[in-house]
Structure 1
Amino acid sequence: MKFDISVPLLGFEDVKEVELEKIDDIFMKMQSTTEKHISFTLINPFILREYDFEVPTNISEIINATQESNLLILNIVLIQTPIEDSIVNFVGPLVFNTDNNKAAQIILSDSPVYAVAEKISSFLNK
């Protein structure tokens, strides 16, 4: 499924459109449609932990999200070996509006709960 990036990805401002591809029930791949060397592995954060934040009003307006919208929340993960050492960025969630194929990255800069680099292993067996 292709998505227009309505709010630039931090550090990848030139990426305007991406394609999401399911890897398994936990991971997805996000690939730039124009820059084949730019891709990210994403993870469903709700599988790992309780994860709650408000989508800022300005972002909701930009991606035309309402209370009824079908939003997909994913986080960038840096895959390591072993997989338990992989690092998840919980501070910069990606919000995909699957109703209109618009997406944005949110930065939770003042969150005392989430970090930019948390090991998956810290959420296993909890």
Structure 2
Amino acid sequence: MKFDICIPLLGFENVTQVELLKIDDIFMKMNSTTDEHISFTLIDPFVLREYDFEVPQNVQDALEINKDSNLLILNIVLIQTPIEESIVNFIGPLIFNTDNNKATQIILSDSTKYGVAEKISDFLKK
């Protein structure tokens, strides 16, 4: 599924459209449609932890979000070996409106309870 980036991604301002590809029930791949060298592995944060945040009004407007919108929330993950050592960025969630194929990333405030580099192993039951 292709999505138009309606607010530029931090550090990747030239990426205007991405394609999401499902890897499995937890991971997805996000590729730029215009630059084959730009690709991210994404993870469903809700399989790891309780995760909630407010979407700023300007982002709601840009993504045309309303109370009935179908949203997909994913986070960038840096894959490591073993997979449990992979690092998740919880302060920069990507928001995909699957109703109109618009997407963007938001950066949560510094006072958030989430980190920029948390290991998957920190959330696995011991």
CA drift of 1:75 comes to: 0.2
1:36-78 CA distance string (max 9 Å, x none): 0100000000000000001111100001011100000000000
For residues 112 and 63 of structure 1, the distance between their equivalents in structure 2, rounded to whole angstroms, comes to: 23
The corresponding residue for 1:36 is 36
2:36 partner SS: coil
The corresponding residue for 1:118 is 118
Return 5+ residue gaps in structure 1 as ranges: none
Residue 124 of structure 2 aligns to which amino acid in structure 1? L
The corresponding residue for 1:60 is 60
CA drift of 1:110 comes to: 2.9
Aligned residues: 126
Return 5+ residue gaps in structure 2 as ranges: none
The corresponding residue for 1:105 is 105
Taking only the aligned residue pairs, the percentage that are identical comes to 75
1:28 partner SS: strand
Q: TM-score, normalised by structure 2?
A: 0.98
The corresponding residue for 2:95 is 95
Residue 46 of structure 1 aligns to which amino acid in structure 2? F
Moved over 4 A (4+): none
2:6 partner SS: strand
1:7 partner SS: coil
Residue 71 of structure 1 aligns to which amino acid in structure 2? L
CA drift of 1:109 comes to: 2.1
For residues 111 and 25 of structure 1, the distance between their equivalents in structure 2, rounded to whole angstroms, comes to: 30
For residues 120 and 111 of structure 1, the distance between their equivalents in structure 2, rounded to whole angstroms, comes to: 21
1:12-57 CA distance string (max 9 Å, x none): 1100000000000000000000000100000000000000001111
Residue 101 of structure 1 aligns to which amino acid in structure 2? N
CA drift of 1:125 comes to: 0.5
For residues 18 and 118 of structure 1, the distance between their equivalents in structure 2, rounded to whole angstroms, comes to: 25
The corresponding residue for 2:13 is 13
